[in-house]
A and B are shown apart, each in its own frame.
Chain A
Amino acid sequence: MAKSPRKTTPVKKPAAPKRAPAKAPAEAKATVHSTGGLKAPIYSATKAEMMDFYEQMLLIRRFEEKAGQLYGLGLIGGFCHLYIGQEAVVTGLQSAISPGKDSVITGYRDHGHMLACGIDPKIVMAELTGRASGISKGKGGSMHMFSVEHGFYGGHGIVGAQVSLGTGLAFAHKYKGDGGVCLAYFGDGASNQGQVYESFNMAELWQLPVIFVIENNQYAMGTSVNRSSAEDQLYRRGESFRIPGVQVDGMDVLAVRGAVEEVLKDVRSGGGPVLMELKTYRYRGHSMSDPAKYRSRDEVQDVREKSDPIERLKVALLKQGVKEEDLKALDKKVRKIVVDAADFAEASPEPELSELYTNVLVEQY
């Protein structure tokens, strides 16, 4: 691929300050921490859009709660990483992209991403219970789910691997000239992996249409960001590759949507990769078997009370005149979807034993 002249977009020109502003000014919402002049306005959503966001986030929350419950009942085995607390990130980002044109890839905390891609909760839950009707025929499990149809490329278990793979998906978009963009999601932990920087370098060198999405939920398993990262302002991690970055409140779905709209404009117009850091928080342990002793109960409670993405949007909706009953009805509808998914996942048969040897290779040799 041509090493095209890099400075195609003026947004990348200004040199970033050496340190992020130590303290946010009073109007914190309006302050954008970014490099390369990226903007991140709050999205002004219609009431209908806000209701959609609310429903989407609620679906992920209830789905994950149910998954946790099924794990406790022994119906889900192995590793199971819940997304509770981070719902605004994937909801805001996925709402802005073009399904069927763009591609999405993430790590193993992937249930929410699949739901946000519009994949049927039943077949996602059935994969979690390891059943034949699961999206990977029960052969992938919680960490390994894919839907090429929905542009969802997994579902990867090795921390950081999806960043290179996502860069490859972006390479394919550019090679084919299909106008697509890849959203490559990874965590604060993965942001310290070497191959991430190898990919940053090539993505910028080749001007690939990829958005590197760091879901900074503050803890890489049990290690907090500042115990593991020399530069803990992760949106700046692309600077030595000239990749502009923006830090976004990942607990505010409207902030997420607003930021990604700007980023998408830049990337779609051929500006090369952009790095987004979404500051978020996971309420549960790293996986189901993590006792989460590395943080206090109060810390978790504090985030839940002050920053919960669903509660925040609920307040905004009520302010806009949406009735409490309507939200209750929505909650009931979502619970029903989740209960149906769980029933389906429990009732579905396990895969036939003949499936053991299928799909190892595509062809017979």
Chain B
Amino acid sequence: MAIQLKMPALSPTMEEGTLAKWFVKEGDEVSSGDILAEIETDKATMEFEAVDEGVITKILIAAGTDEVAVGTVIAEMAGEDEEASPAADAEAASASQDEAEAEPANEADPDIMNVAPPAPISRADDPSVPAGTELVSITVREALRDAMAEEMRKDGTIFVMGEEVAEYQGAYKVTQGLFEEFGPKRVIDTPITEHGFAGIGAGAAMGGLKPVVEFMTFNFAMQAIDQIINSAAKTNYMSGGQMRCPIVFRGPNGAASRVGAQHSQNYAPWYAAVPGLIVIAPYDAADAKGLLKAAIQSPDPVVFLENELLYGRAFEIPQIDDYTLPIGKARIMREGSDVTIVSYSIGVGMALEAADTLAGEGIEVEVIDLRTLRPLDTETVLKSLSKTNRMVVAEEGWPVCSIASEIIALCMEQGFDDLDAPVTRVTNEDVPLPYAANLEKAALIDVPRIIAAVQKVCYK
């Protein structure tokens, strides 16, 4: 039985090529690895090697022939072994390729057109706080520390690693006390090597541990972003669900105060763009605690974006054991009927302040804190839009390709009929953050800008 030699595809995109030269003639014996022919494409010249042993019986395409389609039979050979399983194999291959060719390439496949992402599931509400529960005032910094400590007490596979997290107690003191309580095995100072320890953290997670990796700030996580996206976020998918990466990457994000362009940046839209990640950016202490606990418990990789300017701010938090909040659920911070402000992280505080001022002008503002940026709670946003019919997105970050952009697209696609005014975004200016005090102030989002935007969409 003859083995058919077919014009090979030499690259992912090759469709045809020139059969430049034959190195064998009919009757030649060849063995595996011998060069049979030279094939040219527009990109390269490559040698075509024999895979099987045998004798070349026929050369069907002459040297010098142009535009030979991939898959064309260019020669035949007789196998050395007359069981000729390779021939049967080649035929099987050719059969399945014919099938593939039979499908018209450019027509839309109705099945593929019908593929849609799964509908968002109904998300759990925050746990109800029983009447009479004591409220205690703690800072966001303490809330984050308590979340880690509580989870670490429950599960010995959780450890914290990062620069200055142990003996120094954290560059921003978020890990204060953890080293004393859990010791050097579980609270680990790393060298200044973000790329390396993000990878080590991801590897440890793949190996069955639950790392909490602190970046001193997310600006430095750019050194490590390959490991966050290519390793942590994609592995579960690429492995067909076999290999998990339950890790939390956390640290301060966004502009701090007068630290210049390289240390002042909001990465929320970067990470929120990546399927396979969960992205959380809380505003107050209760959410910081409840969501960090949920992040640590999650079997998925989480990017947890904090804000340096909020660390020292105190909020009331219900005194409940194991206070854990649902990931993916936005929170209505203030109810209102005239207009909705959507925000997250530090922007929520500004939105609430703006709402107070606007209430004095007779505008009742609903304020939504997204809290989780991926997956986004589109249900809560759209429901509020259907109530108020006007929306402003307030974001401490750049305007282009932002979370605000995403919310606006959502309203266009799914809330268009509810809109009484264009959705407007209030963001930082579209520049690297300047150092000079007046320029920095001019570049950053503030309450008056949010108020002005709300007035505008209310046509006031």
B-contacting residues of A (Cβ < 8 Å)? 1-3, 65-66, 68-75, 77-79, 103, 105, 134-140, 144-148, 153-158, 161, 163-173, 175-176, 194-195, 197-199, 201-202, 205, 283, 285, 288-289, 291, 293, 297, 304, 332, 335-336, 339, 342-343, 346-347, 353, 356-365
- Say whether, besides A139-B237, A357-B118, A336 and B242 are in contact (CB < 8 Å): no
Do A1 and B203 touch across chains, with their CB atoms under 8 A apart? no
Contacting residues, chain B, for A342 (C-beta < 8 A)? 89, 93
8 A Cβ contacts from B129-156 to A:
none
A-contacting residues of B (Cβ < 8 Å)? 6, 8-12, 14, 32-33, 35, 43-49, 51, 70-71, 81, 85-86, 89-90, 92-94, 96-97, 100, 111-112, 114-115, 117-118, 121, 123, 157, 159, 184-185, 188, 190-191, 193, 195-209, 226-227, 230-231, 235-244, 246, 275-276, 278, 298-300, 326-328, 372, 375
Closest CB-CB distance, B384 to chain A, in whole Å? 20
Do B235 and A154 touch across chains, with their CB atoms under 8 A apart? yes
Give the distance in Å from the alpha carbon of A361 to the alpha carbon of B51 in the complex.
Answer: 41
Closest 5 CB pairs of A and B: A168-B203, A164-B199, A198-B196, A172-B207, A72-B8
- Say whether, besides A146-B239, A164-B195, A202-B193, A353 and B209 are in contact (CB < 8 Å): no
Give the distance in Å from the alpha carbon of A283 to the alpha carbon of B49 in the complex.
Answer: 11
Contacting residues, chain B, for A346 (C-beta < 8 A)? 92-93, 96
Give the distance in Å from the alpha carbon of A194 to the alpha carbon of B200 in the complex.
Answer: 14
- Say whether, besides A164-B196, A201-B196, A356 and B115 are in contact (CB < 8 Å): yes
Can you show 15 pairs from A to B with CB atoms below 8 A apart?
A73-B8, A79-B12, A105-B203, A139-B238, A146-B235, A164-B227, A167-B203, A169-B206, A170-B203, A198-B196, A291-B45, A343-B89, A353-B114, A357-B115, A365-B372
Give the distance in Å from the alpha carbon of A153 to the alpha carbon of B209 in the complex.
Answer: 14
Give the distance in Å from the alpha carbon of A78 to the alpha carbon of B196 in the complex.
Answer: 29
Contacting residues, chain B, for A105 (C-beta < 8 A)? 203
Contacting residues, chain A, for B230 (C-beta < 8 A)? 156-158, 161
A157-B230, A342-B89, A347-B92 are known; give 13 further A-B pairs, CB within 8 A.
A73-B8, A105-B203, A153-B206, A170-B203, A171-B209, A176-B208, A285-B46, A342-B93, A360-B276, A361-B276, A365-B123, A365-B326, A365-B375
Do B204 and A168 touch across chains, with their CB atoms under 8 A apart? yes
Do A360 and B237 touch across chains, with their CB atoms under 8 A apart? yes
Do B89 and A161 touch across chains, with their CB atoms under 8 A apart? no
Closest CB-CB distance, A303 to chain B, in whole Å? 12
Contacting residues, chain A, for B71 (C-beta < 8 A)? 73-74
Closest residue on chain B to residue A145 by CB atoms: B239
Do B112 and A353 touch across chains, with their CB atoms under 8 A apart? yes
Closest CB-CB distance, B414 to chain A, in whole Å? 18
- Say whether, besides A73-B93, A139-B237, A363 and B9 are in contact (CB < 8 Å): no
Contacting residues, chain A, for B92 (C-beta < 8 A)? 343, 346-347
Do B235 and A365 touch across chains, with their CB atoms under 8 A apart? no
Do B195 and A140 touch across chains, with their CB atoms under 8 A apart? no
- Say whether, besides A72-B6, A169-B203, A202-B193, A147 and B242 are in contact (CB < 8 Å): yes
Give the distance in Å from the alpha carbon of A283 to the alpha carbon of B114 in the complex.
Answer: 45
Interface centre among B32, B96, B121, B191 (most CB of A within 10 A): B96
Do B93 and A75 touch across chains, with their CB atoms under 8 A apart? yes
Closest residue on chain B to residue A355 by CB atoms: B240
Closest residue on chain B to residue A365 by CB atoms: B328
B242: which of A66, A146, A169, A202 is its contact (CB, 8 Å)? Answer: A146
Do A291 and B184 touch across chains, with their CB atoms under 8 A apart? no
Closest CB-CB distance, A124 to chain B, in whole Å? 13
Do A73 and B97 touch across chains, with their CB atoms under 8 A apart? yes
Give the distance in Å from the alpha carbon of A153 to the alpha carbon of B199 in the complex.
Answer: 13
- Say whether, besides A1-B185, A175-B185, A199-B199, A359 and B236 are in contact (CB < 8 Å): yes
Give the distance in Å from the alpha carbon of A162 to the alpha carbon of B266 in the complex.
Answer: 28
Closest CB-CB distance, A192 to chain B, in whole Å? 14
Closest CB-CB distance, A187 to chain B, in whole Å? 17
Closest CB-CB distance, B223 to chain A, in whole Å? 9
Interface centre among A78, A158, A197 (most CB of B within 10 A): A158
Contacting residues, chain A, for B46 (C-beta < 8 A)? 285, 291
Contacting residues, chain A, for B51 (C-beta < 8 A)? 65-66, 68-69
Contacting residues, chain B, for A157 (C-beta < 8 A)? 230
Give the distance in Å from the alpha carbon of A173 to the alpha carbon of B207 in the complex.
Answer: 8
Give the distance in Å from the alpha carbon of A40 to the alpha carbon of B32 in the complex.
Answer: 33
- Say whether, besides A73-B71, A304-B33, A135 and B240 are in contact (CB < 8 Å): yes
Give the distance in Å from the alpha carbon of A156 to the alpha carbon of B229 in the complex.
Answer: 12
Closest CB-CB distance, A193 to chain B, in whole Å? 9
Do B239 and A103 touch across chains, with their CB atoms under 8 A apart? no
Closest residue on chain B to residue A77 by CB atoms: B12
Do A158 and B32 touch across chains, with their CB atoms under 8 A apart? no
B85: which of A75, A78, A173, A339 is its contact (CB, 8 Å)? Answer: A339
Contacting residues, chain A, for B207 (C-beta < 8 A)? 103, 153, 168-169, 171-173, 176
Do A140 and B240 touch across chains, with their CB atoms under 8 A apart? yes
Closest residue on chain A to residue B247 by CB atoms: A168
Contacting residues, chain A, for B242 (C-beta < 8 A)? 135-136, 146-148
Closest residue on chain A to residue B192 by CB atoms: A198
Contacting residues, chain B, for A332 (C-beta < 8 A)? 81
Give the distance in Å from the alpha carbon of A283 to the alpha carbon of B51 in the complex.
Answer: 13
Interface centre among B48, B157, B188, B240 (most CB of A within 10 A): B240
Contacting residues, chain A, for B10 (C-beta < 8 A)? 72, 288-289
Give the distance in Å from the alpha carbon of A36 to the alpha carbon of B45 in the complex.
Answer: 46
Give the distance in Å from the alpha carbon of A188 to the alpha carbon of B8 in the complex.
Answer: 29
Closest residue on chain B to residue A2 by CB atoms: B184
Give the distance in Å from the alpha carbon of A69 to the alpha carbon of B205 in the complex.
Answer: 37
Do B195 and A1 touch across chains, with their CB atoms under 8 A apart? no
- Say whether, besides A135-B240, A140-B239, A153-B206, A365 and B278 are in contact (CB < 8 Å): yes
Give the distance in Å from the alpha carbon of A73 to the alpha carbon of B244 in the complex.
Answer: 34
Contacting residues, chain B, for A140 (C-beta < 8 A)? 238-240
Give the distance in Å from the alpha carbon of A278 to the alpha carbon of B298 in the complex.
Answer: 40
Closest residue on chain B to residue A73 by CB atoms: B93
Contacting residues, chain A, for B235 (C-beta < 8 A)? 146, 154
